[in-house]
Structure 1
Amino acid sequence: MANFAKSNVPRFSIDVYQNEYLPQSAGEVNAIVTVTSTGGGTTGGRPLPASERWGHLPGPQGPGGSAGGGAHAAVVIMVDCSGSMDYPPTKMRGARQATEAAIDTLRDGVAFAVIAGTHKAVEIYPGDGQLALASNETRADARQALRRLTPSGGTAIGTWLRLAERLFGSSNAEIRHGILLTDGRNEHEEPEKLREALDACAGRFTCDARGVGTDWEVREVTGIASALLGTADIVAEPDGLAADFTAMMETAMGKEVGDVSLRLWTPQGAEVQFVKQVAPAVEDLTGRRTESPPRSGDYPTGSWGDESRDYHVCVRVPTAEVGHEMLAARVALVIREPAAPAGPPATTLGQGLIRAVWTDDLAASTRINSQVAHYTGQAELADAIQEGLQLRKDGDVEGATARLGRAVQLAHESGNGDTAKLLAKVVDVEDAAGGTVRLKARVTEADEMTLETRSTKTVRVKK
């Protein structure tokens, strides 16, 4: 159960950036909502012991137990063990080493399990349908079990996710996080099966997804991470897996509050057009709304530690005469007890207001807020990259050049240097400011997949 009286719960703040002034007859309000979480894992400025942060909570199992029923957090690692992981053998060796590194990063008291994924899912540790509690002993046992990770069979990722969901179901942990590694396409189950599994797991746990090598499908891996509110990335060389797994686990260790939602209340006649996370990455949350009457809807944001994220909110309001002012939307960050039914939230973590004011001052009503403009450009940048790469694959040189040129221009304008560097591996840039580029004749598959996988990563507005 969530305990918000504890001193290690982060403090949340909400800041709203917008130009609230609208010309007469206009009815679209845009705002950037910045949510910041600070103070998690500290008490009086001092770091809390691991056992008080991600450790064991009072429950049916004692601190030395092997089940995760009373743990504050749980992690399940899903490792691709299909036959292709043996080509080359460094992939399987890298996966074992990465999983071991992730397990070594677990704090005492965290519940965990390891799944070997092929055309079926097998729990190789602890192996009893439960979760183990991290300790020196269980970490050593898990390292021994990793020797049983051998490549064979096919790939059916939906079965891996469903087993993870069942394992998480054996724990009442507030923070539930998965790590999934694959090296190939999901060829041994129908796409609908994977979609059904993702629908069943959404809201049950978050999940980071990684593709190793270049034989996997970018949209499958990014789709998994998107559905489960995690991150996606490519690890082109197996020797990079251990560092990546360690970094993922360290980030997961910083999470203090789970199942947080952005709640939007709108007045009579107003309607939410879209809600998008725009930093640190673009993620459209519009279709994930769940109603929370009266006149409110919740958009999932996953779990939080010490961090800041930005959301673009667009609301359609009834048009009004000059001089009229209204509250277009109320934004709140809310969290429920894990088993609570729909209804009022257990806790409101922060609130902000989105306003609309009609004016005949042309300068005021046509000014675009710098935050809104920046993130509108970042969303366009992601779209331009994905569309350009698809046109390139389709053989449309002119179309690909135009879209990737626009991407270069947007990356330059926004100062998104990381994306600009990735684009320069796919196109020769003649004029970044003007978006003039030429497609490179030869592009490595790893460079193209890296650009596509990281296309949604954004940069914050420069202060």
Structure 2
Amino acid sequence: MERRTGGQERRAGGPGEGRASGRTHGGAEAREGGRTGGHARSARPPEIQVRVDLDGDVRPHRSAKIEAHLRVDVTAGGAPAELPAIELAVIIAVDVAEPLRGVVRHALQAALRSLPDGISFTVLGAGPEPVPCHPRGDAEWAVADQREKRRAAFAAGAIPLHRDGPRPAGYAVWAARARALLAARPLSVRHLLLITDGSSGPGETRLDEELDACAGHFTCDVLAVGADWAPDPLLALAERLHGTAEFVDDGLGQAITGAVRRLRRVHAPQLPIEVTVRPTVRQVALNEKAPRPHRLGGLPQPGRPHRWSFPTYQWEQGGRDYLLTLVADADGDPLETWLQFAMVSVGDVHAPVTARWHRPEQPPPEVAARGDSVRDQKSTTVMRDALRRGLVALKDRRRDAAEGHLGRAARLAARFGTDWVLDEIGAVADIEDASAGRVRLRPAAAVDASTLGPMILRAGSWPVPLPDTAAPQPGARCTRCAAPAGGEARYCIACGEKLL
């Protein structure tokens, strides 16, 4: 299959050629409420660009895999710099044991005093079940003003924390409580901020099930404190609920305030990426790769069996990279003929996924001049995974396995110039030759075991910069709208004009 790129499309007249991008000022506003809120922004919606890039040489067979690199860029346009605070509902949940009361109390009181006026908020403490701290009584939500913030800070001084005795059976309890509370607060941005030291009870059995129920209803950031928490459930919360997970050694109050500020920079609380496929495509998957890894769940559209919607959340100004995977049956498709396998739509911007099957006995007629962006994207995921596996193996004292995984991560980090990965490896091992993947672990006594948990968290949630993408290439263009046009196209895929 030859690599093809596509850009802005409104009508599927023929395949695009070169590298093109679509742009719009509309389309997102009507979708922003979605399942996370019901209030649309009154300001001009953000500007969106979509770019699709296919790489690789896939031969036709019954279950051929087609992979494409999808870049979506959002710019603010005429939107205000910050989302109005009245459009935010935030739960601050404190899942912490009594010994850390001093750390949590002062940080929480400072953060509550600095909440923006107008934000809807509630504070939960820890007991056998999540315990309301502020507001109390019949009210489940408070709206921040000077009086409410003073009352909340005062209540936080005596916030319930875990003591000896029964404890909640894991993070599913907190997620379920947040889901119930936020169901009654249909604002544009609904968010759980979970502060945890891992002191919830060990009986976690239904976190995946609860995250399935929560997906699409709210987002979640996790702030880990102390040293006794396990990274895996925190990373699961952040990935499945489209947030972040980070370790906070000190500066907890600033971390809480910073999380609220990030929410106010959101320009599109929900921005679905829709994929419409040809009938021969049997499976569709979309995964965010940068700036943070997220698993996206596709929602089939009733009455439209070939269209899938992948909700995404908390779009600030900037770009995101996705890996789109299609599994297609090539049995009935013609060879050496341009076909459109899918249309990717974000708001009013559309980009086609076009390619052609090559005869199995012949090499592709064209060789890509640029780097293989899909392979690079997949390798970046392998690098993160190798770093995480190496750190987990080191924590479990499996030193040979740790050395192998960290060596692989170092080799990929050297290839991509990912300095933060090399810095993480350098904290526990001597890097003898990064490009060759040769590292040597330091003696066990020289590695501070308490630092491994935060490192594992960063390996799974640390943001990475998006790679540069090539500018649109010159080529044949439509005489009416100047959109790029493939040499074999009969009609412009952007405006429908018949091509000369």
TM-score bracket, normalised by the shorter chain, equals 0.7 to 0.9
Indicate whether 1:175 and 2:189 are aligned. yes
Match of 1:117 among 106, 123, 126: 126
Indicate whether 1:140 and 2:150 are aligned. yes
Counterpart of 2:72, as a letter, is V
After superposition, the Cα gap between the structure-2 partners of 1:263 and 1:185, relative to the gap in structure 1 and judged at 3 Å, is farther
Counterpart of 1:123, as a letter, is P
Indicate whether 1:106 and 2:106 are aligned. no
Structure 2: gaps of 5 or more residues: 1-32, 470-500
CA distance in 1 between counterparts of 2:230 and 2:141 reads: 30
Match of 1:207 among 192, 204, 220: 220
> What is the CA deviation profile of residues 229-261 of structure 1, one whole-angstrom value per residue up to 9, with x for unaligned ones?
1111112x2x23122222211111112333332
Q: Which residue in 2 is equivalent to 1:79?
A: 94
Q: CA deviation at 1:18?
A: 2.3
Which has more radius of gyration? 2
Match of 1:126 among 124, 135, 150: 135
After superposition, the Cα gap between the structure-2 partners of 1:148 and 1:349, relative to the gap in structure 1 and judged at 3 Å, is farther
CA distance in 1 between counterparts of 2:349 and 2:122 reads: 34
1:416 touches 1:459 (CA, 8 Å); kept in 2?
no
Indicate whether 1:326 and 2:323 are aligned. no
Counterpart of 2:279, as a letter, is Q
> What is the CA deviation profile of residues 250-288 of structure 1, one whole-angstrom value per residue up to 9, with x for unaligned ones?
111112333332222211111335321100122232xx2
CA distance in 1 between counterparts of 2:365 and 2:383 reads: 28
Q: Which has the higher helix share?
A: 1
CA distance in 2 between counterparts of 1:393 and 1:234 reads: 17
1:326 touches 1:357 (CA, 8 Å); kept in 2?
yes
After TM superposition, the structure 1 stretch with the greater mean CA deviation from structure 2, 21-30 or 223-232, is 21-30
TM-score (structure 2 length as normaliser): 0.76
Partner SS state of residue 148, structure 1:
coil
1:222 touches 1:232 (CA, 8 Å); kept in 2?
yes
Q: CA deviation at 1:440?
A: 1.9
After superposition, the Cα gap between the structure-2 partners of 1:105 and 1:305, relative to the gap in structure 1 and judged at 3 Å, is farther
Indicate whether 1:443 and 2:442 are aligned. no
Indicate whether 1:255 and 2:266 are aligned. yes
After superposition, the Cα gap between the structure-2 partners of 1:365 and 1:266, relative to the gap in structure 1 and judged at 3 Å, is farther
Q: Which residue in 2 is equivalent to 1:60?
A: none
1:12 touches 1:35 (CA, 8 Å); kept in 2?
yes
2:39 touches 2:187 (CA, 8 Å); kept in 1?
no
Identical-residue share of aligned pairs (%):
25
Q: CA deviation at 1:185?
A: 4.5
Pairing of 1:302-451 with structure 2 (within 5 A): 302-319=313-330, 320-333=333-346, 348-359=347-358, 362=364, 364=366, 369-441=371-443, 442-451=446-455
2:182 touches 2:190 (CA, 8 Å); kept in 1?
yes
Q: CA deviation at 1:100?
A: 3.4
> What is the CA deviation profile of residues 374-406 of structure 1, one whole-angstrom value per residue up to 9, with x for unaligned ones?
211111112212322333344433322111100
CA distance in 2 between counterparts of 1:420 and 1:211 reads: 23
CA distance in 2 between counterparts of 1:227 and 1:174 reads: 19
CA distance in 2 between counterparts of 1:245 and 1:390 reads: 28
2:110 touches 2:153 (CA, 8 Å); kept in 1?
no
Q: Which residue in 1 is equivalent to 2:84?
A: 54
Structure 1: gaps of 5 or more residues: 57-71, 334-347
Q: Which residue in 1 is equivalent to 2:174?
A: 160
1:265 touches 1:297 (CA, 8 Å); kept in 2?
yes
CA distance in 2 between counterparts of 1:257 and 1:459 reads: 20
TM-score (structure 1 length as normaliser): 0.82
Counterpart of 1:455, as a letter, is A
Q: Which residue in 1 is equivalent to 2:9?
A: none
Indicate whether 1:459 and 2:474 are aligned. no
